[in-house]
Amino acid sequence: MLKRLLRRDRLPQTMPSAGPPAAGFAPLSRATPRIDRFSDEDLAELNRLLKWNCFTVDSQGRRVGDRARTAKREEPQDIPDRRIVLLDDTFALRDKHVLEVGCFEGVHTIALADRAREVTAIDSRIEHVVKTVLRCYLYGHAPEVRRCNVELADEMAALPEVDVVHHVGVLYHLVDPVVLIDRQRREYLQSLRDLDAAASTGDKGVAAQLMVEGAVLHLKADIEWLDLIESRLTQWERSA
């Protein structure tokens, strides 16, 4: 017994770190009226209620959510993340329906919903679906959020048609990303066949012909890009 106590005394004393403060962050440069109505006590309770893995801030610089654990997401998540701004600059999301794969706790979902016409967010884990619904509500949005595994074709088939897919930090979680690439390639090939059929029917004006040719060129480039991803992933898997 004494030996055991002495051994315990020699163990390094790792003090649990206090975690991020409840307030005092740079305020979000976006209105957050639904959160502003919470007292500090209400917000503290909300932050304890769920097992959050990241946090954002409100327009008063208060914490919404929590870090994942010591040294994991100790800093507030940006709204918007720079990649969402880039996506919007590139694809002009205002009139687009965006599918977000792997929405986690809704941080990117909010920034997407701030910009896009419509957002559907999916995640394979129900706890992430719940946290995304709640965080989006707090920041003024109510996107469609579903539990859906991107690797299961039947679950994906139940999703609506969208214009843009946002997919960051999910690929390395998948059992077999190459299967997903193959499925995407088959869809592109089907679109190519449809365009071919459309091009050969009826008497089209020059403008319509040019649009079809443009779409074919884009699809071919997308297919080449998928081939490149597949070969890189396969090389990476072999070397791992």
Farthest CA pair distance, the chain: 95
If the CB atoms of residues 10 and 82 are measured against ligand SAM, the closer one turns out to be: 82
Binding residues for ligand SAM, total number by CB under 6 A? 17
In terms of CB distance, is 30 or 147 closer to ligand SAM? 147
**Contact between 194 and 154 (Cβ < 8 Å):** no
Binding track over 84-123 against ligand SAM, x by CB under 6 A: -----------------xx-x---x-------------xx
Distance CA(181)–CA(178), nearest Å, equals 5
Instruction: Kindly list the distances between the CA atom of residue 177 and the CA atoms of 47, 103, 180, 222, in Å, as whole numbers in the listed order.
Output: 34, 18, 5, 17
139, burial (CB in 10 Å: exposed 0-12, middle 13-18, buried 19+) = buried
Pattern 128-167, ligand SAM, x by CB under 6 A: x--------------------xxx----------------
Question: Binders of ligand SAM among 169-208, rule CB under 6 A?
Answer: 169-170, 173-174
Q: Work out the angle at residue 7's Cα, subtended by the Cα atoms of residues 3 and 11, and round it to the nearest 5 degrees.
A: 170
CB of 172 to ligand SAM, least distance (A): 8
- Please report, as ranges, the residues that interact with ligand SAM according to CB under 6 A: 101-102, 104, 108, 122-125, 128, 149-151, 168-170, 173-174
